[in-house]
Amino acid sequence: MSSIHAKDPTGPLENRWEKHLFNLSLIAPQNRKKHKVIVIGTGLAGASLCATLGEAGYQVSSFCFQDSPRRAHSIAAQGGINSTKNYQNDGDSVWRLFYDTIKGGDFRARESNVYRLAQLSGNIIDQAVAQGVPFAREYSGYLANRSFGGTQVSRTFYARGQTGQQLLLGAYQAHSRQLENDNVTHQSRSEMLELIMVDDQARGVVVRDLVSGEVSAHTADCVVLCTGGYSNVFYLSTNAKGCNTSATWRAYKQGAYFANPSFTQIHPTCVPPTVENQSKLTLMSESLRNDGRIWAPKNSADCTKNPADIKEEDRDYFLERMYPAFANLAPRDVASRAVKLICDKGLGVGSKIHGKRLGVYLDFSAIIEKLGLDAVAEKYGNLFDMYSSITGENPYQTPMKIYPAPHYTMGGLWVDYNLMTTVEGLFAGGEANFSDHGANRLGASALMQGLADGYFILPKTVANYLAQNTLTEVDDAHPQVVQSLKAVKERIQKLMNAPQPKYSPEHFHQKLGGILWEACGMSREADRLKQAIVEIAELETQFWQNIKVTGIDNDLNQTLERAGRVADFIELGKLMCQDALMREESCGAHARVEYLTEGGEAKRDDNEFSFVGAWEFMSEQPKLHKEQLNYEFIEPTVRNYK
């Protein structure tokens, strides 16, 4: 085991970023065109980065696997984006957002980064408003705010239930402007399958054109991955079906450390599964917890009744009972565990899945009575419509049913203060990096982090890297480029030609998801994790023996795309279990049953585990490196939302 360092600045917290910015090298405008940057991923983090680097005058090449940058998964974000504007005058400040984020992440995030994020949060809103993002407004004309979990102020800016979509349209327009100006080139329907390394530096990528099947190499001075999160490793998640880990996993295999892979967030308010073979789960935004009350029947005999027939005194508003200070706005990890506890006790409602009713009620009757139907529809109409079209039930009349589902990944590529990975010249932004959220992300903080990375941090730190490194030209004939292309083509052939092709990628993915959900989901335990590592290793062997990819490789072939992604998910799943096994404590979303209080709360071990666990790929066993977390400004305490 060895230690790694973030290289963050020292001194007063509030001056660190400014001081660092001053010390970063700049490139004169007339020289920027000489530098080429590849950006993989054009969701909020990637599109905002391309727009900013393009505007500054660099040559940028961007790639995404969807048919348009507008379809990045960021578009699905519903609830909002945090910022410390303090328009509500309810006591918010940069310090409070910093504190809430560190505490929300159960004291497993880096202070310098989180403070910078809170400082930049105001700039993001200014930038988005200037682009015309239609945030909700108050009667006065000020931008409106609502609350999200884990906070006692209203700092979440929103555009009905479509905040991600509106923010992405803003970033996409800015990205498109640079395409028009010839500063950025973009290829959609292109999937990165390998990172090209030359002299230990990231110098390019190999991509597959998903329409023609053509595999090609692209070189540059440096590479930035903004490729999103890996919740789909669980098979069932709230993420778009295409979200995957392949880009970050290829980078891991080339030397980029993977940090805290087991820190995965299970979101409490999702539409529960109704059948055992379901292929997708849907989020109901956390913003609904501002006004909806969560409850379950007190008696198991009531679980199959129509909720309207359950008397008020027979309802258990368990979050209000267990966490009176934050009540229905308890943070996600805390709320998810409480919902699981209720359902494990046999007090869940809705369809039975594997013998258990997995659902509790999210009830809007009180707020509808108070504000009227129109006011509630104005705030949440599109979310209610979505719920209604999925379930066939009318949430204006009957409470929604909700259950936790995999949603967000705090783990990802380890990055230093400059958001550079352990591979020189390889940066990571947005959900793809291990981010600023510690062991649990607070709601409405992912959009904030992705846009802070893309608009404000990476453009400066990437420029600094380019200014400080004299990079020789790498062309397509370079032996390393030729070798990377060859490796990708060989892997495709291996996927196409398994010895005994029998099962689809979904078959293996479903099996992996089942193992991970049981062993590395909402509750984890040493024996179960050890068993899962063995089961996943067996699944991996079976995969390469029995994967069946129909069709041909040099054409559109979605089975081939999925097979490659599942192969990477299987390897990542194993690392997740190893990471969860190593961390003999509970913190945030990582709940080891051996380290919980009697009330089911996380028991952290700051003496032994106050570090970021960053794994280095090795062919036999991954090697753990530790980044020690030093709390200079906040004293880690037991998280208390009561």
Ligand X SMILES: Cc1cc2nc3c(=O)[nH]c(=O)nc-3n(C[C@H](O)[C@H](O)[C@H](O)COP(=O)(O)OP(=O)(O)OC[C@H]3O[C@@H](n4cnc5c(N)ncnc54)[C@H](O)[C@@H]3O)c2cc1C
**Comparison of 228 and 297: residue with beta carbon closer to ligand X:** 228
* H/E element, 533: helix 526-546
Q: How far is the CB of 541 from ligand X (least distance, A)?
A: 25
The answer to the question of residue 247 lying near ligand X (CB under 6 A) is yes
In the shown chain, the binding pattern of residues 215 to 234 toward ligand X, with x for contact by CB under 6 A and - for none, equals -----------xxxx-----
**Comparison of 217 and 226: residue with beta carbon closer to ligand X:** 226
Q: Rounded CA gap, 554 and 561, in Å?
A: 12
- Considering only CA atoms, which of 69, 40, 209 is closest in space to residue 561? 209
Q: Candidates 133, 196, 446, 589: give the one binding ligand X (CB under 6 A).
A: 446
Q: How far is the CB of 79 from ligand X (least distance, A)?
A: 3
**Cβ-count burial 550-581 (b if 16+ within 10 Å, e if not):** eeebeeebebbbbbbbbbbbbbbbbbbbbbbb
Q: How far is the CB of 69 from ligand X (least distance, A)?
A: 6
Q: Candidates 8, 111, 191, 601: give the one binding ligand X (CB under 6 A).
A: 191
Q: Which listed range, 64-72, 85-93, 379-387, 573-581, lies at the site for ligand X (CB under 6 A)?
A: 64-72
**Comparison of 408 and 543: residue with beta carbon closer to ligand X:** 408
The answer to the question of residue 45 lying near ligand X (CB under 6 A) is yes
In the shown chain, the binding pattern of residues 135 to 174 toward ligand X, with x for contact by CB under 6 A and - for none, equals ----------------------------xx----------
Q: At what angle do helices 505-520 and 558-582 cross, to 10 degrees?
A: 20
CA dihedral 31, 36, 41, 43 (to 10 degrees): 10
**Comparison of 231 and 610: residue with beta carbon closer to ligand X:** 231
**Comparison of 207 and 496: residue with beta carbon closer to ligand X:** 207
Q: Is 65 left (phi over 0), alpha (psi -120 to 50) or beta?
A: alpha
**Comparison of 458 and 498: residue with beta carbon closer to ligand X:** 458
**Comparison of 210 and 296: residue with beta carbon closer to ligand X:** 210
Token pair, residue 397, equals 């009349």
Q: Which listed range, 57-65, 318-326, 365-373, 394-402, lies at the site for ligand X (CB under 6 A)?
A: 57-65
The answer to the question of residue 239 lying near ligand X (CB under 6 A) is yes
The answer to the question of residue 192 lying near ligand X (CB under 6 A) is yes
The answer to the question of residue 408 lying near ligand X (CB under 6 A) is yes
Q: Rounded CA gap, 253 and 518, in Å?
A: 27
Sequence-ordered list of residues with C-beta below 8 angstroms from that of 490, at least 6 positions apart, any chain: none
Judged by DSSP in three states, 634 sits in: coil
The answer to the question of residue 422 lying near ligand X (CB under 6 A) is no
In the region spanning residues 74 to 103, those forming contacts with ligand X, defined by CB under 6 A, are: 74, 76-81
- Considering only CA atoms, which of 514, 501, 488, 517 is closest in space to residue 559? 501
Sequence-ordered list of residues with C-beta below 8 angstroms from that of 175, at least 6 positions apart, any chain: 42, 47, 48, 50, 51, 54, 62, 69, 184, 186
Q: Rounded CA gap, 540 and 525, in Å?
A: 22
Q: Which listed range, 34-42, 327-335, 571-579, 605-613, lies at the site for ligand X (CB under 6 A)?
A: 34-42
Radius of gyration of the chain (CA): 24
Token pair, residue 355, equals 């013998």
* H/E element, 251: helix 246-253
**Comparison of 191 and 535: residue with beta carbon closer to ligand X:** 191
Neighbours of 548 (CB within 10 A): 16
The answer to the question of residue 66 lying near ligand X (CB under 6 A) is yes
Q: What is the largest CA-CA distance in the chain?
A: 75
The answer to the question of residue 431 lying near ligand X (CB under 6 A) is yes
**Cβ-count burial 385-414 (b if 16+ within 10 Å, e if not):** ebbeeebeeebeebbbbbbbbbbbbbbbbb
Query: Are 426 and 418 within 8 A, CB to CB?
Result: no
Q: How far is the CB of 286 from ligand X (least distance, A)?
A: 7
- Considering only CA atoms, which of 46, 59, 75 is closest in space to residue 454? 46
**Comparison of 264 and 610: residue with beta carbon closer to ligand X:** 264
**Comparison of 319 and 444: residue with beta carbon closer to ligand X:** 444
**Comparison of 42 and 183: residue with beta carbon closer to ligand X:** 42
Q: Which listed range, 10-18, 62-70, 370-378, 390-398, lies at the site for ligand X (CB under 6 A)?
A: 62-70
Residue 446: exposure state from Cβ atoms within 10 A (0-12, 13-18, ≥19)? buried
Q: Which listed range, 72-80, 324-332, 494-502, 544-552, lies at the site for ligand X (CB under 6 A)?
A: 72-80
Q: Rounded CA gap, 426 and 235, in Å?
A: 28
Sequence-ordered list of residues with C-beta below 8 angstroms from that of 250, at least 6 positions apart, any chain: 192, 193, 194, 195, 568
- CA torsion through residues 260, 406, 378, 362, sign: negative
Q: How far is the CB of 53 from ligand X (least distance, A)?
A: 15
The answer to the question of residue 65 lying near ligand X (CB under 6 A) is yes
**Comparison of 202 and 243: residue with beta carbon closer to ligand X:** 243
Q: Which listed range, 114-122, 239-247, 503-511, 619-627, lies at the site for ligand X (CB under 6 A)?
A: 239-247
**Comparison of 249 and 318: residue with beta carbon closer to ligand X:** 249
Say how many CA atoms lie within 13 Å of 637 toward its Cβ: 9
**Comparison of 407 and 478: residue with beta carbon closer to ligand X:** 407
In the shown chain, the binding pattern of residues 256 to 295 toward ligand X, with x for contact by CB under 6 A and - for none, equals ---------------------------x------------
Token pair, residue 155, equals 């700092």
How many chain residues interact with ligand X (CB under 6 A)? 45
Query: Are 402 and 271 within 8 A, CB to CB?
Result: yes
**Comparison of 78 and 201: residue with beta carbon closer to ligand X:** 78
Q: Which listed range, 255-263, 377-385, 445-453, 532-540, lies at the site for ligand X (CB under 6 A)?
A: 445-453
Q: Candidates 445, 461, 542, 586: give the one binding ligand X (CB under 6 A).
A: 445
The answer to the question of residue 430 lying near ligand X (CB under 6 A) is yes
Q: Candidates 238, 265, 418, 586: give the one binding ligand X (CB under 6 A).
A: 238
Query: For binding to ligand X (CB under 6 A), which residues are involved?
Result: 40-46, 63-66, 72-74, 76-81, 163-164, 191-192, 226-229, 238-239, 243-244, 246-247, 283, 407-408, 430-432, 444-447, 450
